[in-house]
Amino acid sequence: MGNGVDSLVYYNEYNSTLETFSLKYIVDIDGTICYTINSNYEESRPYKDRILRLNGLFDEGHEVHYYTARGSQSGKDWQEFTKAQLDDWGVKYTSVRVGKEHYDKWIDDKAINDKEFFKD
Ligand SMILES: [Mg+2]
């Protein structure tokens, strides 16, 4: 780093790293991008501001994977319905998956609470 050439190369490498840097987001559906009472998914109402925010991340090149526990207790397959519902709401996604375990609390060092993530 003693001369200008090395500094320039370093700068360009750093810059290109920033340009290609993308994150992989795993996003819940019910209660996170829509309002759902009990398991009445047909009546779910989208949180449009939250969807726009996540669509923005997708447009910036990040992966946005939607992952839901829909059907994990009832055994009903909600995969196609959920995908069509997200399409109808204008949700941009890398993938839509059912099969998440039903749970009451999720403890994870990388998790962000929805209220925290969408607060501004
Ligand atoms: Mg939820």
Average pLDDT over residues 19-26: 85
* Biggest alpha carbon–alpha carbon distance for the chain: 66
Cβ neighbours for 101, distance < 8 A, ≥ 6 positions apart: 69, 72
Domain CATH number, residue 52: 3.40.50.1000
What is the distance in A from the centroid of ligand 1 to the CA of 62?
21
Average pLDDT over residues 19-39: 93
91 in any annotated domain: yes
Indicate whether 10 pLDDT > 90. Answer: no
93 in any annotated domain: yes
Task: Give the Å distances, CA to CA, from 27 to 79, 95, 98.
Answer: 15, 10, 12
How would residue 120 be classed by pLDDT, with cut points 50, 70 and 90?
A: confident
12 in any annotated domain: no
Domain count, the chain: 1
Amino acid at position 70, single letter: R
61 in any annotated domain: yes
pLDDT tens per residue, range 75-89: 999 999 999 999 999
What is the distance in A from the centroid of ligand 1 to the CA of 61?
25
Q: What are 103's strand-pairing partners?
A: none
In this prediction, residue 21 carries a pLDDT of 82
- Fill in the DSSP letter of residue 21: -
Cβ neighbours for 33, distance < 8 A, ≥ 6 positions apart: 27, 46, 47, 50, 51, 54, 66, 89, 91
What is the distance in A from the centroid of ligand 1 to the CA of 76?
17
What is the distance in A from the centroid of ligand 1 to the CA of 44?
12
Residue 78 structural domain: 24-118
E strand or H helix at 30, and its extent?
none
This prediction has a pTM of 0.82
Indicate whether 1 pLDDT > 50. Answer: no
44 in any annotated domain: yes
65 φ, ψ (degrees, to nearest 5) = -105, 125
33 in any annotated domain: yes
Q: Are 62 and 24 in contact (CB under 8 A)?
A: yes
The pair of structure tokens assigned to 19 is 């340009």
pLDDT tens per residue, range 95-115: 999 999 999 999 999 999 999
17 in any annotated domain: no
34 in any annotated domain: yes
